[in-house]
Amino acid sequence: MITYRPKKISLANTPTPLRLLGKVSEQLGGPRIWVKHDDATGSALSGNKVRKLEYVVAEAIEHNCDTLITCGGLQSNHCRATALVAAQLGLNAHLVLRGRKPAEADGNLVLDHMAGAEISYYSPAEYIQRLPEIFSKLSEDYLALGRKAWCIPTGASDEIGIWGYIDAAYELYGQLHQQSLNPRYIVCATGSGGTQAGLSLGMHSLGYSGEVVGMAVCDSEEYFLRKARKDMHGWQHRYGAEDDVASVDVDGVPIKTLANYIGPGYARTYPEMLDCIKWLARTEGIVLDPCYTGKAFYGLVEEIRSGRWSEVEDIVFVHTGGIFGLFPYRAELF
Ligand SMILES: *Cc1c(COP(=O)(O)O)cnc(C)c1O
């Protein structure tokens, strides 16, 4: 058990509900599928990033920062969440977005503007090559203006942000215990790795005997193994003065990733996945997005259909949000 927690700001509506998908489970004829509704952590400020920001932004405020700088794609859920958190707390947000400024904003980008975030656009090549440099230049510019900026890494996935999903693991564990459930798998989309790392670490520390499975939306199995391990080591290094943190065998935490449902690439779709999104919406009234949760849920369904997970009794799908990212795909969906 990890009882220590660093300072956090309460931003997310938690606990989020755990609900059985009765119809979908029956139609697949396999395990019972439960949804952990982290898409319901808020309204506009919803999804998995809010849980990580509770800790990351507390740290920024602790350092007397008045500006949050972060980065992501044009449709980044993380950037949208950061922009809204900044507005709520009276801070400034500066978003470094990968891609050309679109003629018309859509989805998350509409909300970035609504929240009053400062936005800089960079070509993918420049973004990949120069991101650290862009961050330090912006920080210096703000310093020259008498302001103090805090840089949040991609997806708020670092040794601080993973606390958000350690919390989520403890919350989920309590809900499972209450209903006497011991799911064989807990499935989430994985992109910057923090959700997967926090869940894996949290569940392991509770003695969970099943597997947390990250469904990759980009990169490879090896990438997520390295990234999750790095964040866990960073976490132990940073908070290791606490006995319950120091005593976690970080290298013994299983990190499981399936990378065969990415399709043509990050944020790119394929028909079977889009059909799965529509099927879930029509069958259960649950809306997924094509970039993250659609691929993760499609992967879960395929693992059941293939027979690999058919002998299992219960599976939990962590719905990490992303609803606003659906709208830019309207033409591909219908
Ligand atoms: C960012 C995101 C993820 C991936 O979470 P990471 O912690 O970055 O791996 C999954 N789903 C949605 C909707 C997201 O926005």
Q: Cα–Cα distance between 235 and 93 in angstroms, integer?
A: 25
CA of 78 to the centre of ligand 1 (A): 8
Catalytic site includes residue 180 = no
Q: Would the CA dihedral through 321, 325, 330, 331 be positive or negative?
A: negative
Q: pLDDT in tens for each of the 334 residues of the chain?
A: 999 999 999 999 999 999 999 999 999 999 999 999 999 999 999 999 999 999 999 999 999 999 999 999 999 999 999 999 999 999 999 999 999 999 999 999 999 999 999 999 999 999 999 999 999 999 999 999 999 999 999 999 999 999 999 999 999 999 999 999 999 999 999 999 999 999 999 999 999 999 999 999 999 999 999 999 999 999 999 999 999 999 999 999 999 999 999 999 999 999 999 999 999 999 999 999 999 999 999 999 999 999 999 889 999 999 999 999 999 999 999 9
**3-state DSSP assignment of residue 213:** strand
Look up tokens 């790795």; give the residue.
193
Tell me how far apart the alpha carbons of residues 54 and 178 are, in angstroms, rounded to a whole number.
26
| 145 alpha carbon – ligand 1 mean position (Å) | 33
Q: Which of 39, 46, 195, 300 to mutate to test the pocket of ligand 1 (most atoms within 8 A of CB)?
A: 195
Give the number of the atom of ligand 1 that is nearest the alpha carbon of residue 154.
Answer: 8
Please give the Cα distance from 45 to 204 (Å, whole number): 29
Q: What is the 88 CA–ligand 1 centroid distance (Å)?
A: 22
CA dihedral 110, 114, 115, 119 (to 10 degrees): 60
